A and B are shown apart, each in its own frame.
Chain A
Amino acid sequence: DAMVIQNPRYQVTQFGKPVTLSCSQTLNHNVMYWYQQKSSQAPKLLFHYYDKDFNNEADTPDNFQSRRPNTSFCFLDIRSPGLGDAAMYLCATSRDLSASGVSYEQYFGPGTRLTVT
């Protein structure tokens, strides 16, 4: 089945210790997104890649970086995690059809729960 995979599902890191979360997809979608979701809050978009073009949200802290080495993979790097970065991190993909204006669904992975100690 085509899907979005996130590894690991649970990640514990120490305050200030760099951590990388990974996402892969078999949907061959051209857009990949990273969201941060804290308890009882809406998922918050951090950034997205349209093909190889990186698009950062204005309020995404510099502490968060991303890499997309190919269509299938995307990584979220947190350079110096703080206690406030503990959250669920969701990866999503979409096949951007804005030219045809058909649909804009995003397909989500199961998420990585990050704990900062």
Chain B
Amino acid sequence: DQQVKQNSPSLSVQEGRISILNCDYTNSMFDYFLWYKKYPAEGPTFLISISSIKDKNEDGRFTVFLNKSAKHLSLHIVPSQPGDSAVYFCAASGPSSGSARQLTFGSGTQLTVLP
């Protein structure tokens, strides 16, 4: 049962245009969401996050939008650059009955920015 879904395995965008990556979740207990970027042969790198008390968080070219009623979040990259080409993972976190908080990941979207 996938609690975090990224339904688009790949996305191609022209350089300079907007890239929109989407993510859906099913667990209403999730209250913190993150995006990670992964280049080949490297580990995922934290990109941007958002708490469930907000609906938007912006950091430079990257903006994450959260729609709690739809259980949907998206990552906007404007303008897209060739160096943004990577796999993007959506992750969600919620209160844990155990010790540390854990992340539940989506399966990733391969973004290709064409020059």
Contacts and interface: CB of A to CB of B under 8 A. Distances in A.
A100 interface: no
Nearest to B31: A101
A106 B103 contact: yes
Nearest to A6: B43
Contact of A55 (B41, B49, B100): B100
**Residue in B43, B89, B101, B105 with the greatest tally of chain A CB atoms within 10 Å:** B43
Interface string B101-115: 111111110000000
A45 B100 CA distance: 13
B105 A107 contact: no
B102 A42 contact: no
A96 B74 CA distance: 25
Interface string B77-115: 000000000000100010010111111111110000000
Interface residues of A, number: 28
Nearest to A9: B41
Contacts of A92: 43
B107 A42 contact: yes
B34 A104 contact: yes
A31 B100 contact: yes
A90 B98 contact: no
Contact of A110 (B32, B42, B46, B99): B42
Interface in B1-47: 2, 4, 9, 32, 34, 36, 41-46
Interface in A54-94: 55, 90, 92, 94
Contact of A111 (B43, B45, B105): B43
A111 B40 CA distance: 11
